């Protein structure tokens, strides 16, 4: 595609991650809040979201993921999805608490699939992590509703926490196994956003354990992500930290819940504000500007990045 967006490091932008609110009904101890600074003064409007996604598709963006906060806190989430242009993949990452009542309407509106955060299947641990032990049963209902609505494959996001859920991986694999291939387990390395370094798990040693247990391993070149097939379940290990391959292959531009283009999860000093009154032409130029200032956060492997250009 001629008009694709390439940053100065040769990375093509093909996906957009849109945070639609900072409001959330859980209070996870580690939440990175999509790297946003708190600013509850403005919540990005449906119109700005749709105009931005539409302009991004002109540059070949085909994938949009919604996040937050908790995206289902917005009552107009279905309206937002319905108003989007034609895309290859529309997904959302949700804590699942409100999903049982909304999965069908979200699927009818055009949502293709969901990632559901499920850091523990144990009520006490779930409560320690999220501050809301009683929400666990609602999330489990939400997973069933998402399957019924066809929002599959569902990825269960489990951020690993030393001393809390590190020994629950087998439970999570057994749980995923019940869904006959419709559920993928994503084990996520904790990023230290809220002074939570005491919970960091030794990911190298976990990787070795997964390797020894897997009947089959696949490595996604993008992001150096490995998929392990264990007891018939697909288990993906997400290692964002100090992972220069992760940065080198980052194809994502972000729109924040306050309506700013954000070129990198890890930075807030290079945001570009899209005012509600911005015209489509202005937004097109802002997207180009955001692409121009994109740079990998972890640059210790710059040579590798430059070789790909």
Q: Using CB under 6 A as the criterion, which residues of the chain lie in contact with ligand SAM when the complex forms? A: 24, 30-34, 67-68, 70, 93-95, 115, 117, 157, 159, 188, 190-191, 193
Phi, psi at residue 156, to the nearest 5°? -95, 120
> Which of 9, 74, 1 has the alpha carbon at shortest distance from 263?
9
Query: How many degrees, rounded to 5, is the angle at CA 211 between CA 213 and CA 252?
Result: 125
Q: Residue 94's beta-bridge partner residues?
A: 116
- Least distance to ligand SAM from the beta carbon of 254, Å? 12
- Whether the CB-CB separation of 241 and 189 falls below 8 Å is answered with yes
> What is the Cα 182 distance to its own chain's centre?
18
Least gap, CB of 118 to ligand SAM (angstroms): 9
Min. distance of Cβ 143 from ligand SAM in angstroms?
A: 13
Cβ distance to ligand SAM smaller for residue 55 or 81:
81
In order of 32, 84, 149, 207, the CA distances from 305 in angstroms are 26, 33, 40, 24
How far apart CA 119 and CA 117 sit, in angstroms, is 6
Nearer to ligand SAM, 189 or 282 (CB): 189
The CB-of-161 to ligand SAM minimum distance in angstroms stands at 10
Instruction: Report the residue number, 7 or 34, with the smaller CB distance to ligand SAM.
Output: 34
Phi, psi torsion values for 260, nearest 5 degrees: -120, 140
Q: Are 238 and 188 in contact (CB under 8 A)?
A: yes
**Nearer of residues 115 and 249 to ligand SAM, judged by Cβ:** 115
We find the least distance from the C-beta atom of residue 100 to ligand SAM, in angstroms, to be 16
Query: Closer to ligand SAM at the Cβ: 65 or 284?
Result: 65
CB of 99 to ligand SAM, least distance (A): 11
Task: Please say which residue, 190 or 253, places its beta carbon nearer to ligand SAM.
Answer: 190
Q: Looking at beta carbons only, is 104 or 196 nearer to ligand SAM? A: 196
User: Taking a C-beta distance cutoff of 8 angstroms, is the pair 19, 49 a contact?
Assistant: no
Q: How far apart are CB 186 and ligand SAM at their closest, in Å?
A: 8
- Write the secondary structure of 20-54 as one string of H (helix), E (strand) and C (coil): CCCCCCCCCCCCCHHHCCCCCCCCCCHHHHHHHHH
């Amino acid at each position: 595609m001629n008009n694709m967006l390439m940053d100065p490091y040769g990375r093509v932008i093909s996906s957009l991650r849109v945070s639609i609110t900072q409001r959330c009904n859980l209070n996870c101890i580690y939440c990175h809040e999509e790297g946003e600074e708190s600013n509850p003064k403005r919540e990005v409007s449906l119109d700005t979201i749709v105009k931005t996604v539409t302009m991004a598709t002109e540059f070949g963006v085909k994938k949009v993921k919604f996040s937050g906060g908790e995206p289902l806190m917005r009552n107009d989430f279905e309206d937002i999805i319905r108003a989007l242009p034609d895309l290859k993949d529309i997904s959302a990452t949700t804590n699942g608490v409100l999903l049982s009542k909304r999965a069908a309407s979200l699927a009818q509106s055009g949502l293709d699939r969901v990632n559901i955060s499920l850091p523990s299947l144990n009520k006490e641990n779930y409560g320690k992590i999220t501050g809301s032990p009683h929400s666990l049963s609602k999330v489990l209902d939400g997973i069933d509703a998402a399957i019924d609505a066809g929002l599959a494959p569902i990825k269960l996001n489990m951020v690993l926490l030393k001393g809390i859920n590190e020994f629950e991986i087998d439970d999570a694999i057994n749980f995923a196994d019940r869904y006959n291939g419709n559920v993928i387990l994503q084990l996520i390395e904790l990023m230290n956003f809220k002074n939570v370094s005491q919970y960091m798990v030794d990911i190298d040693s976990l990787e070795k354990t997964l390797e020894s247990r897997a009947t089959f391993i696949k490595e996604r070149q993008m992001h150096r992500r490995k998929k392990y097939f264990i007891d018939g379940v697909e288990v993906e290990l997400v290692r964002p930290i100090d992972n220069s391959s992760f940065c080198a292959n980052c194809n994502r531009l972000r729109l924040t819940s306050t309506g700013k283009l954000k070129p990198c999860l890890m930075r807030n000093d290079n945001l570009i504000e899209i005012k509600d009154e911005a015209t489509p032409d202005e937004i097109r130029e802002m997207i180009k500007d955001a692409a121009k200032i994109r740079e990998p956060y972890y640059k210790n492997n710059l040579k590798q990045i430059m070789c790909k250009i």
